[in-house]
Structures are given as structure tokens and as C-alpha cells.
Structure 1
Amino acid sequence: MDKSSAEAQGGQAPVVDEAYEKAVQERIRKQIAAELKLSAKQVETTAALLDEGNTIPFIARYRKEMTGELDENELRAIEERLGYLRNLENRKLEVLRLIEEQGKLTEGLRDAVLAAGKLQEVEDLYRPYKQKRKTRASAAKEKGLEPLAGWLLEQRQTGSVEEQAARYVSEEKQVLTVEEALQGAMDIIAEGIADDARIRAWIRAFTHDQGTLKTEAKDAEQESVYEMYYAYSEPVRKLPPHRILAINRGEREDVLKVAIETPVERIHDYIARKVIKRESVAKPWLQAALEDAYKRLIAPSIEREVRGEMTERAEAHAIDIFAANLRNLLLQPPVRGKVALGVDPAYRTGCKLAVVDDIGKVLEVAVTYPTPPHNKIAEAEAVFKRLIQQYHVELIVIGNGTASRETELFVAELIKKLGRDELRYIIVNEAGASVYSASKIAQEEFPDFDVAERSAVSIARRIQDPLAELVKIEPKAIGVGQYQHDVQQKRLEESLKAVVESAVNHVGVDLNTASSSLLSYVAGVNATIAKNIVKYRDENGKFRERSQVQKVPRLGAKTFEQCVGFLRIPDGDNLLDSTPIHPESYPIVDKLFRLLDVNETMLGTPELKERLRQLDVEQLAEQLEVGVPTLRDIIDSLLRPGRDPREELPGPIFHTDVLKLEDLKPGMELQGTVRNVIDFGAFVDIGVKNDGLVHISQMSDRYVKHPMDVVSVGDTVTVWVLQVDEKKGRVGLTMRKPG
């Protein structure tokens, strides 16, 4: 532990002055650097940038020289560890203060607390001094039995335990027998053992390494999705995250009983080695006390702690999976330049339709009833035909919810009848559309529409620009996760918000068309400022240059610095405003253009691109007095002005005819789109009602550690049919070419 000159000595808590705080922060930075395999300078700079209020996207993009080109994941890892370790230091100081107030802080205890590397270690050390509700041990102490416990722990080789205990029999103290006196003394010893930080730490680690999680059914006759866990066991250390969360849910729903079993004798032996130092007249009572300590006090709490750690680990993994899937979904390439007809299928209430033009403006909404129980097919055909012809619809977008199968059959048949080569349809995941349609955002956007009409608009728009539309929906409602409802919701929301923020800033935002929902994810911009931007735009017309955004109410200098590089004006007065180049670098661009004897009107021309490609970036960076990473990004932005990084990814698969489950045969080759990736495989849309499953074992001829090593949400993949279960509507697929 680093000690400042002002740090108090002896058993006192450290004096928290500037020197002490500086020493602590230095140690934290060194620890993070070692953990993340980064330089101390990188961590120190990042910590300073974060403390100054800079956002992760801004630091990652525009402060590369300062951080040594750390990416967003590395920056977020630093931010997370920084928060944890600073909280840990604050808790240490709080614990030392509380123990010192009791007059029980020794130098050894103080050093142990200050040296702790985890919150759990600090809490273990604080446990003996924590105010407890009345316990058997505290009751025994009130009866004056603490000296008897001390006598037993002296482990004398001569003397009579019973005679010693008889001295504490007292009606006044309500200790009526020798047995009661000894039981009270053992209760005190048991609590002391249970509060020993070293013993707890060993048993916790042993339980994790050697324990077995066992599950059984509360009612073995009850049918449920948890039947595989009705008589199940697996070593704690080997349980995969998805299984932990499934078992937790089964327990929470009162279907399963769950317990951790450990080799108890080995634990007793360990405690005995720590407590029983020699043969003595007290040994039988000490043995009984340590066994009681483990069974009554240690085992239940350690089991809760170990299961808590398992759950925390499983939740972190599930959140990572959801976050990765969400990012891939948000970054799906937009389908530009097409008028789309969105269809929200239903049975009784009919299919709601919404025609949107090529930039997402709603042209018309309608309702038809081609599905049961109405089956008004001729009437529905007439409505569809009119909308398709009147608005020159090229793409029909069908939500994959209730009645989507029947609606798809109807649409495929209609396309055949119309005989229009350019007309296609696609099934999209409508997860979250109903959440959006009932939201305040949707009500403000379409006050005169009902919820189903808003849903149809959302379905149409999410193919035109997935990012712009999906940011309006609560991330966890988008439906690309695994057990997302079983994890800590606050942590999930924070993680998913970071993913959306990352995706939005990666792509950039058109300042003149973006919704307030989209703008609110731009670095440094909150919901209030986003609404102010839209309001200012509505009242004053389009922004002509980025600098105008400074006139927006509550958008101060720091916010401007953070957000402006991610805002785009494609047809503004300054052509650089259509690029990711930050205005702080415009003088660098001016110098570069003068050096090349060109001007900004040549942006995007083959001549300028050719000159830029021939530059020696390192030599030029020195000449322009700018960092190499910044200059590299400037040149890349000048080479591809107006670039949308999503457009480099493969687009979605469109259909003209429907594939039925009964059409599928083992060995059939198909093209599909990955809809969701989970721990044990991936669900692939192959054009039938239910997505097919590619199990992890069928993803490659080589060993696959995790499906995400092979596929991502939105990938177009070639698959072969393995088996079809028509009764359950399940399709097994393989990515391993037959033969």
C-alpha cells in the first residue's frame, strides 16, 4: 500500500488529504494498467479525460494521440474499473472509520483493509465489527459466557471443562446448567469462526471449485420447460451462464429446488487446522463449535454468496451477448431509395398498413382483413393493389408477429398476380414495435394514429434505416438477447445505452433530419438538448453549418465540443460539415489543401482522392504539426465524404414467394439471415414462419468456443436443413456442408 507522509500511523484510519488521495489514485491507475495490459500513461490520460466530462465516443474518435489510440471497448473497461476501484477505496475508508469509532482498529486490521483488492474482502474484514441483530452468541455474551469461550480457546491440556463451566451457572444470568453454559460458549466460538475473514475466503473459493449445484423438481409430475433440471447436477465451476440463468428462473418460478453440495469433511478439517492447535480437554467442544459454525452460520451465507457470484457472472455474459447482438442489429445496412409498405399482421383486428416514402415520410395508412376469421381476400387485394400502384411501392415489409404466416402467403400470392419484377417482400423482426407504438415518442410523432398504425409505420421504417427507427425503442425490448429479463435491469440498461450510443456515433447523424430520439444518443447530448435541437430546426429552418448548433438553448461549449464531430450536414455551406472531421481540425484541413493546392469544392473528386492516396502520412503529420492518427482519420474522411459505414455490409434478403415448412427436406441448401445469437447456437431466418436453429456443434468443422466467433446478427449465411419437426414447428440447420 502506498502511504503518504500525511497518513496516520498506528491503528488509526488514514488521514484523507491531497497527498493520500494522489497516492491512492496513482495505485488505482497502476492496477488498471496491469489488469488491462495497458501503459500507466494511457490509463492516467483516459482517467483525466473522463474526469473532465469527456464522453467515450469523443475520446475514442478525437483524442487518439492522448490515449495511444485506445478503442471504445478499452476505454469503457478503464471507466468501469475506475468506478469500481474508486468505490472500493471509499468503502475502505468508511469501514476503517466505523471500526475506529468502536475503538477496535488495530494496525494489522487497518493494513489488511487497505490492502484488500475486492469489496467482498473488505466486507469479510468488517463482518466481526458490524452491528448485528440479536444472535445466539450475543445472547451468550450478555450472560457473561465470553470468558468461558476464551478458556476453551486456550486449549489447556489439563483441567475439567465441566468444572470450569459450572462457575458460570447462575440463575441471575439465566444460565441454569453446565450444558447451557457450554452451549453459550460454543455459540460465541462458532460466531467468531464464522466471522473470520480468512476462513470465509477459503471456504468461498473451495465451494466454487469443489461444489456441485444440484436441482430437483418440487413436483416431478408437473410439466414445464425446466424438466431437464428435475434431477440435475453439475460442478459449480463448469456451469455455463445460460444454464445458471435458466436454473435461477426455475427456482424463482417455484418449479425447482436448488442447492450447492460440498465435501463437508474437508471443510471441517480446514477449519479444525485453523482453530484446534493441539490436543486439549476442550477439543470435543471446539470440534462441535466449528461444525456448528459451518452448518448454521457459514454454509448458508457462502452458498448465497457463491450463487450470487455465479449469477453476476452469468448476467454479465448475457448482457455482453445482448449488447453484441444489438450493435450488429443497429448497424444493419439501410435500404435506401425505396417506397415501402409496412404491414402489422393480425387476425381479428385486421392487418394495419402504412406506406412510407423513400425517406420515411408516411404517405397513407389503411387496414385490411385477409386473415382469419374475416378472410376478406378480394377486398384486401384491392387495397394492396391501389397502394402499390398509387405510391409505386417496391418493398412490402411484414412484421413477424401474430398472423405473419397467413399474411406472408397472401402477399406472395399477390406479387405473383401483379407480375411486377421490382416488387419484393421481406419479413422483419417486429420486436419492440408495439412498445414503440404505445410510447410517448410515438404519440408525439403520430398523435392521430392508433397504436397498430404506428406499429406498421415502425415496421416499414426499420428496413429503410434500422438505426434511426430502433433508437426510439427501449433497447431491451428489441428482442435479440438471451435471458434479458432475468438480469439486473439497471446494469442491462446502462450497457445497452452504451451500445446504442456507440452505434449512433459510429454512423453519425444528419443534423437536419434526425429525430430527437436519435440525437439524444449523440455524444454529450441529452434528451432535453435533443428536443431543443429539433425545436430550433423547426423554428429557424435547416442548419446551414455546424457552428449554428451553438445557438441551441442549453447546448454549451463542452456539449458542442463533444457532439459536433458526430453531426453531419450533407448539403451545407461548408462541405467539411458532411464529414466526421471535427471543426477543431478544420485549420489542419486548410493547411493540407494549401499544401496540395486544392480547395474544398474538389471534395470527392477523383483528382483529390488520387493526391490524398499518395501522401506520406507520417512525414506530413510532422509538417502540419498534427498527430498521425488524427491526420490518418482526416485523410480517410476526405477520401470518402458522406460515407455510411453500414453500407459496406451485405444487405437483407428479399423474397417473392413463400417457403412452407413442408417444402423443407433434409440436405436442402438455403440462404438465411441470422436473427439472434445465443450461447448454444444461432437462430436463422430461412423464409419459413419460425427461424431455424444452427446448434453450435453445426457451425463449423472446427471447434467453436462461442457462436459469436462464427456469426453475428444480420449475417447472410448458407445453411443446410438437418431435420424438420412439423408438429413443433422446429427446423434444425447446419452450416457444415454435407459430405
Structure 2
Amino acid sequence: MYQLTIPAQIAAELKVREAQVQTAIDLLDGGATVPFIARYRKEATGGLDDVQMRELEARLAYLRELHDRRAAVLKSIDEQGKLTPELRAAIEAAPTKQELEDLYLPYKQKRRTKGQIAREFGIEPLADQLFANPSLDPNEAAKPFVKAEKGEGGEDFTTVPAVLDGVRDILSERWAEDAQLVQGLREWLWAEGLLQSKLASGKNENDPEVAKFRDYFDYDEPIGRVPSHRALAVFRGRQLEILDAKLVLPEADTAPAATKTAATPSLAEGRIALHLGWSHAGRPADDLLRKCVAWTWRVKLSLSTERDLFARLREDAEAVAIKVFGDNLRDLLLAAPAGQKVVMGLDPGIRTGVKVAVVDATGKLVETATVFPHEPRKDWEGSLHTLGKLVAKHGVQLIAIGNGTASRETDKLAGDLIKLVQKMAAAQAGVSLPAIEKVVISEAGASVYSASEYASQELPDVDVSLRGAASIARRLQDPLAELVKIDPKSIGVGQYQHDVNQSELARQLDAVVEDCVNGVGVDLNTASAPLLARVSGLSGTVAKAVVRWREQHGAFDSRQQLLEVSGLGPKTFEQSAGFLRIRGGSNPLDVTGVHPETYPVVEQIIVSTGKPIDQIMGRAELLKPLKPEQFATPQFGAVTVKDILVELEKPGRDPRPDFKVARFNDGVEDIADLREGMVLEGTVSNVAQFGAFVDLGVHQDGLVHVSQLANRFVSDAREVVKTGQIVKVKVLEVDAPRKRISLTMKLDAQAPRRDAPRENRFEGAGRNQRSGQGGRRDSAPAADNQMAAAFAKLQGLRK
């Protein structure tokens, strides 16, 4: 059943055929990677793409864990002799780990409870009698159960009140372990409850660290509709003991507030009563049963339900945050490469100076320097002279400037340098040369790389402070090749990244990096070990072995030479070869994404066209008329042949966009320089569901709220913008004290009125303060009619 059930369930979720899923599972279990399956096994899986394969892989792991846990639960209950056919069926049908644990709760080994003690002293028959027949007088019915003396452990059932307390403990514990009741309450509160947060007692709201959470000092919102960023903000504030957060129950609309007391039954108690099929009818035992119901909610279930719903909210919020991080990372890794150009990297600094590194067209570091144009030396002219000599000596074509401290000042230095170089070139040659371009780029993670073990191996004789400048230069040439050397979590495009599950974050980010690297392809003869290690099938050890082979034998001439690398066998070759590129090798196909296993298919295409391979590649007029079906084989069908023809048409193509740069406005170097109505160009530095952060070159990113991205409804900012994209924005408002910049991409938009509520003027937060406004409900949700009527006699509670 297990092997059939899991593929069937995943197939239903992905809306594909079960056979597709089963084949994909078999390939994964056989050691194939997701990129390999998605790219080279389309025939087998029916065309499952990398997104579907990643989802399949994750669900497979979850469902297998669920299966193993289910087996353990069944075994445990069976060993207790309590496994009924009905319970087995319920456990086998449990779709989630949470529901499985709900069913297991009554049978889980736990410490001795008050309810267990009461059962041990024979009180359970009384509890059953009173619940079954509330007409019984509890005090009279309890007398036969009174014990003559206390138990050896001090257990006291020597009085009628003590015995009735035992009844309460038995019933409340039994009801609190009713899986159907617990799940019903949980889902009801997820739909109707409120997440509420307030400023913690004793906290000074003017404290800068406390003020970051001002939007949540008096906040509530339906818990099931709280956006990811607001949920994580509240949880962070609670963890820092700045906020108090709790789950607030819905209230009956007609319950007079003035009449409510601590003893007033809640709607949660009403739902418990409805589930039990009991209501207060004035019978002798009804007051006792009412106390049992109240005890069940207030003592047994209220805190655990809040904990469960907070865990669910956090899990959902983390999933969204991790996805946002992954999407942003993908956009950053797949940003346009400048290509093989000589680049000067500038790592800005004030007192420590601007670190300079020049890399040649292949990314090799050729020279470094440090200049001091800013405080305290202010050696502007000397800095220009040093940089000018480097430009002339190495033929610098691009200047990459890190976006850290003093980036705007350094950007101005680069601007003056470009003017100086043009002036000198014109004076010497009498003609104007094409302008050197300057680009301000994210330096996130550069310091992490500088101090890494790999950096010390790659640049052993270079000072740590200068390695960052080299990294900045090379990430402009090829963002993907350089950023893979850095832990994805250090790249700085996440939303509350330190508040989410770190192992799940790492797993998903690694998957994004792997998909990006294999989607673009890797030059086998220039790739670093960290880049090679991200190629399908290649481990870190094998990647280093590839680099060692290259150092000992020179450049690879063909993919087949990979089999000469120590530790790289046929299986690894199968998984990796299609993603590795060789330029100028003996086989022209090695520069394409055509897998070596399908080279025989290409030979048939060569025979059909009557032309050699080098006259076929890139010739769309020859390839487009060919029908994939005529070259299909039992092993490689028309789908695979179609991919081969596409590769031959555009051999070695790079799927990334063309390179271009943003132009910052002169005179806009600080948040104080911004004015409402200014139209600026900037680079999207980060994207969250609620909006996009844009680097304007003023040391503080501005926020384009999701409502300001386009003249239409946008539910997710990534529908409109991506990390690294160059956009034009208008300044709506600037709050310098709180370092908040409100922007719009609707260039005809008007600035907000000064008398508008702050939550309408600033929705969201600055780059370093990811928070947002909480929604308000006009009234709490009404209770369910049937439940309210059944529980009406508990205090006249009704809708």
C-alpha cells in the first residue's frame, strides 16, 4: 500500500499522472539529481520540470517520514493492546503529522497525570455515570467512591469534593485528548481567532530598538490571514520581550460586554459542549459538567491550541519567507553578467580607505591598491592619480563599486575618474574613447568570502581586506560564478532570514543554487571548485579532483576526459556531463547542452542534412525544418530530440539577460537629499510579498509597496519586479528619523496627504526594519448558530 499510496498522493497534488511520479521517484532513489531528471529524463517523467521535481522531492521526503512515524505509532498502540480496527483506519488515513499525533495523544507514554491517578483510585465509573446521566446528584453519587485514607503517594480522595475533582480531571483529560474535538477547535480558531500583540509592560516605546516594532504596539489581525512578514515581526518582537502576543478568541456579537466576567463561558467552551452533545439543562450534575467543560478549555486546551496555531502560523510564515529568499537569490544569481571585460573593483571605506582590485577578462586578479579619498586624509587627487594609472595599465572597461559605507562618495570618485580618463585619452589621441562604465552593486557576503578558507586558497598572498574588492569586481563579470563561493544566507536578499528554520532555509537555498548553476551551464576549463561542486552529480571532493586534473594536465579537450578524473565514474559522468561546457574542444557538441549519451542522435541529424556539425550549429534555417519524430529512437523520443535541435540552433547560449547599469542622479547621495516628487533610477535590491526595496544610492533602500508597483492589483511583488532589475521610481515621502523612504513605480501617483493616517502613508518598512501595519476587523466573527443554541443555557450565550 505504501509504495502505491505515496506516488498516488503526490500525483494528485501535482495534478500529473501517477506513472510520472513513480518514474521520478525511482530515478531519485537511483541517485539521479533533480536538474538531471528535469533536463535529460523528460521522456521518462512525462516532462516534469525542475519546479515540479523540487516539490515532488520535498513531498516525497515528508510522506516517507509520515509513513515511518505512522508505523511507529501503530506498533506502540498495538503493543498496549488498544489498537481497534477503527483506530487503525483513522491512523492510516491521517494526512499530516499533526493529525497523526492528535490520534496518538491518548496512547502516548507520559508522566502520571491527575486524571490517571483518579482512574487508578477507581473514580472513572463515577465520571462515566455523571456524564451519561446528569440527573444524578453528584454529591450523593460520589459518596460510595470516597476513600477511607490517602494513598501512599499522598493522593487524597477522602472527601466528596476531592472525588468530584477527580471526575473533573478524568473528563477534562479525556475530552482534551479527543482528536476530532482538538482538530475542530484548531481549525475554527485558525479561521476566526485573532493574533494580538501589544507593547510589553515596562518597555519604553521611544527606545530605538523598541520603536522598530511600533506598528505592533496595538495590533490584531485574523490569525489565518496574517501575512508572513507581519507574523515574523510579531514573533521576533515577542522573542526580544518587546511585544506580548496572544491568541484572542472570537466573541458572540450580542454578549453584553458589561456583563462578562472571568467565569463567563467562551465560544470555545460552547464548541466543546456542542461536540460532546451536552448542554446545561438545570439538572443536578450540569453545574459540575459545566466546570469540566470550562476546565477542558481553560486548563487543558487553551494554551496548547494557541501554541499549535502559533506554530502553524510560524511554519506558514517561514515557508513564505524562505520562498521569497529563494526567489530573490535566483534572480540575483541569474542577473546579467558583464562578461569577459577588465573590471576594477572598489570596496568603499572611510578611515580605512577604498580597497581596489583589478581583474582581467578571465577574472584573474592582476593588481591591488588602497586609496584614501575620504576622511581623514581626503586625498582625492592622489586617489584619482593612482586609479588612473591602473585604468591605463590594464585597460579597465568597467568599475564595480560596493554599496556599503561611503559607496555614494566612492561612486562620485569613480565618476571623476572616468572624466579624467576620457580627458587624458582625448588629449593624447585626439579622439574620444568609449566611456568606462561604473556600476554600484551589492557587496553582501564579500567580507564572508574574504575570510573564507576558499579565499585564502584562491588568493593566498592577498590581504583579507583586498579580497573583498576582487570579489566585487568578479561578481560583476559573472554573478553566478562568484556568488556560489559564498554561503547563500550571507548574500542578504532574505526576509527575516535569521528567524526561520535554518536547516530548511539551507536546503531550499542550496536547491536554488543548484538549479541556477545547472540551468546556465559551467565552463569546465575555467570554473572554480565551489562552482563545479554545484554541478549535478559532482560532490565537493570530486570538484576539487577536477580542478587538480586540470592543473596537472591542462585544459580539458573533451567531456570524455572527465572519466580520467579520480573518483569520477560512469554514474557521475552521466549526471554531470551535460551541464559542463568546453569551448574550443575537439568536439563542437561539448560546448552545448546536448548530453554525450545523445551524440548518436546528432550523428543521424548530420547524415540527414549532409553537412558537418560545425556547419549545422547555429543554422536555424537548416534545423527548423527538421521533424523531431524522424530522429526519435526507443531510448530517446521526440521530446529529447526537440531539445537537441534547440541546443544546436543556439549552441552555448546563456539564458541570462543582457548586461546594463542603473544611472544614479547626481547630487543625490544621502536620504537628506531626497525630495517628494523626485523621479530616480535605482536597482531592486530585495523583493518581499508586500513590496520591493530599491537601492537609490543613498545608503538606505526605499520601499515600493505592493500597491504602488503598477496601475493594477498586484498580490505578490515578484509579479512585477525581480532582484537586480533596474527601475524608475518616484519619491512619495521621506521619514529621515525612522530611515524610511516611500516610493512608487506609478510615476503619475500623488504624494500622500500630510493628515493621512501613518499606516496609509508608510505601509511596510525600511530595508533594516521589515515590519508592516496590522489590519483591524470591524467586529469579531459571529458564533456558529447551532453551537450557540446548544450552549445557550451556559450563560444565555447566543448569536
**Bucket of the pairwise TM-score, normalised by the shorter protein:** over 0.9
- The equivalent of 1:171 in structure 2 is 149
Write the mapping of 1:355-366 to structure 2, written as runs, cut at 5 A. 355-366=358-369
Structure 1 residue 162: Cα displacement? 3.5
Note if contact 1:343-1:396 (Cα within 8 Å) is conserved in structure 2. yes
> Among 217, 242, 255, which residue is 2:229 paired with?
242
- The equivalent of 2:444 in structure 1 is 431
- The equivalent of 1:86 in structure 2 is 64
Change (3 A) 1:525 1:337: closer
- The equivalent of 1:459 in structure 2 is 472
> Among 709, 714, 718, which residue is 1:704 paired with?
714
- The equivalent of 1:7 in structure 2 is none
Change (3 A) 1:537 1:509: same
For the pair 1:469 / 2:482, whether they are aligned, the reply is yes
> Among 207, 213, 216, which residue is 1:226 paired with?
213
Q: 2:413 is aligned with what amino acid?
A: F
Q: 2:549 is aligned with what amino acid?
A: Y
- The equivalent of 2:534 in structure 1 is 521
- The equivalent of 2:106 in structure 1 is 128
> Among 590, 593, 609, which residue is 2:620 paired with?
609
- The equivalent of 1:404 in structure 2 is 407
Superposition RMSD in Å? 2.1
Q: Which moved more, 1:337-346 or 1:309-318?
A: 337-346
Structure 1 residue 273: Cα displacement? 2.6
Tell me the distance in 1 between the aligned counterparts of 2:409 and 2:292: 70
Tell me the distance in 1 between the aligned counterparts of 2:614 and 2:6: 50
Structure 1 residue 236: Cα displacement? 0.8
Tell me the distance in 2 between the aligned counterparts of 1:515 and 1:603: 32
Write the mapping of 1:182-193 to structure 2, written as runs, cut at 5 A. 182-193=164-175
Q: 2:46 is aligned with what amino acid?
A: G
Could you list the per-position Cα deviations for residues 8-28 of structure 1 after superposition, in whole angstroms to 9, with x for gaps in the alignment? xxxxxxxxxxxxxxx222122
Write the mapping of 1:587-736 to structure 2, written as runs, cut at 5 A. 587-604=600-617, 608-618=619-629, 620-622=630-632, 626-646=636-656, 648-653=657-662, 659-661=668-670, 664-725=674-735, 730-736=740-746
Tell me the distance in 1 between the aligned counterparts of 2:677 and 2:85: 72
Tell me the distance in 2 between the aligned counterparts of 1:241 and 1:664: 30
For the pair 1:351 / 2:360, whether they are aligned, the reply is no
Tell me the distance in 2 between the aligned counterparts of 1:597 and 1:603: 9
Tell me the distance in 2 between the aligned counterparts of 1:537 and 1:55: 25
Tell me the distance in 2 between the aligned counterparts of 1:192 and 1:729: 54
Q: 1:652 is aligned with what amino acid?
A: V
Tell me the distance in 1 between the aligned counterparts of 2:161 and 2:110: 25
For the pair 1:293 / 2:296, whether they are aligned, the reply is yes
Write the mapping of 1:95-244 to structure 2, written as runs, cut at 5 A. 95-155=73-133, 157-158=135-136, 160-165=138-143, 167-173=145-151, 174-218=156-200, 219=202, 221-222=204-205, 223=207, 224=210, 225-244=212-231
Q: 1:118 is aligned with what amino acid?
A: T
Change (3 A) 1:239 1:494: same
Change (3 A) 1:414 1:94: same
Structure 1, unpaired ranges of 5+: 1-22
Structure 1 residue 520: Cα displacement? 0.6
Tell me the distance in 2 between the aligned counterparts of 1:640 and 1:188: 74
Could you list the per-position Cα deviations for residues 690-721 of structure 1 after superposition, in whole angstroms to 9, with x for gaps in the alignment? 33322211111111111111111122223233
For the pair 1:255 / 2:237, whether they are aligned, the reply is no
Tell me the distance in 1 between the aligned counterparts of 2:711 and 2:663: 29
Tell me the distance in 1 between the aligned counterparts of 2:667 and 2:579: 41
- The equivalent of 1:15 in structure 2 is none
Structure 1 residue 266: Cα displacement? 2.2
Note if contact 1:412-1:656 (Cα within 8 Å) is conserved in structure 2. no
Note if contact 1:667-1:738 (Cα within 8 Å) is conserved in structure 2. no
Q: Secondary structure at the match of 1:419?
A: helix
Q: Which moved more, 1:138-147 or 1:590-599?
A: 138-147
Change (3 A) 1:304 1:457: same
Tell me the distance in 2 between the aligned counterparts of 1:400 and 1:603: 45
Structure 1 residue 687: Cα displacement? 4.2
Write the mapping of 1:297-446 to structure 2, written as runs, cut at 5 A. 297-419=300-422, 421-446=434-459
Tell me the distance in 1 between the aligned counterparts of 2:739 and 2:305: 44
- The equivalent of 1:70 in structure 2 is 48
Q: 1:609 is aligned with what amino acid?
A: A
Tell me the distance in 1 between the aligned counterparts of 2:399 and 2:408: 14
Q: 2:560 is aligned with what amino acid?
A: S
Tell me the distance in 2 between the aligned counterparts of 1:625 and 1:47: 19
> Among 6, 10, 21, which residue is 1:43 paired with?
21
Tell me the distance in 1 between the aligned counterparts of 2:447 and 2:190: 43
Note if contact 1:215-1:232 (Cα within 8 Å) is conserved in structure 2. yes
Tell me the distance in 1 between the aligned counterparts of 2:303 and 2:17: 42
- The equivalent of 1:489 in structure 2 is 502
Change (3 A) 1:337 1:86: closer
Change (3 A) 1:68 1:658: farther
Q: Secondary structure at the match of 1:645?
A: coil
Structure 1 residue 735: Cα displacement? 1.5
Change (3 A) 1:207 1:705: same
Could you list the per-position Cα deviations for residues 43-95 of structure 1 after superposition, in whole angstroms to 9, with x for gaps in the alignment? 12111211111111001110111112111111111111122112111111110
Tell me the distance in 2 between the aligned counterparts of 1:114 and 1:625: 39
TM-score by length of 1: 0.93
Change (3 A) 1:195 1:226: same
Q: Secondary structure at the match of 1:402?
A: coil
Q: Secondary structure at the match of 2:266?
A: helix
Identity %: 44
Tell me the distance in 2 between the aligned counterparts of 1:437 and 1:658: 32
Tell me the distance in 1 between the aligned counterparts of 2:174 and 2:223: 28
Structure 1 residue 681: Cα displacement? 1.2
Higher relative contact order (CA 8 A, sep 6+): 2
Alignment length (residue pairs): 713
Tell me the distance in 2 between the aligned counterparts of 1:610 and 1:272: 76
Tell me the distance in 2 between the aligned counterparts of 1:432 and 1:617: 46
Write the mapping of 1:548-587 to structure 2, written as runs, cut at 5 A. 548-587=561-600
Note if contact 2:418-2:436 (Cα within 8 Å) is conserved in structure 1. yes
TM-score by length of 2: 0.86
Tell me the distance in 1 between the aligned counterparts of 2:98 and 2:158: 40
Structure 1 residue 166: Cα displacement? 5.0
Change (3 A) 1:393 1:201: same
Structure 1 residue 626: Cα displacement? 3.8
Could you list the per-position Cα deviations for residues 654-674 of structure 1 after superposition, in whole angstroms to 9, with x for gaps in the alignment? 679664456655444433322
- The equivalent of 1:10 in structure 2 is none
Structure 1 residue 97: Cα displacement? 0.4
Note if contact 2:401-2:441 (Cα within 8 Å) is conserved in structure 1. yes
Could you list the per-position Cα deviations for residues 375-426 of structure 1 after superposition, in whole angstroms to 9, with x for gaps in the alignment? 2223322221221111121222111112222222322233333335422211
Note if contact 1:425-1:656 (Cα within 8 Å) is conserved in structure 2. no
Could you list the per-position Cα deviations for residues 159-198 of structure 1 after superposition, in whole angstroms to 9, with x for gaps in the alignment? 5534424532331433232111111221111111111101
Structure 1 residue 306: Cα displacement? 0.5
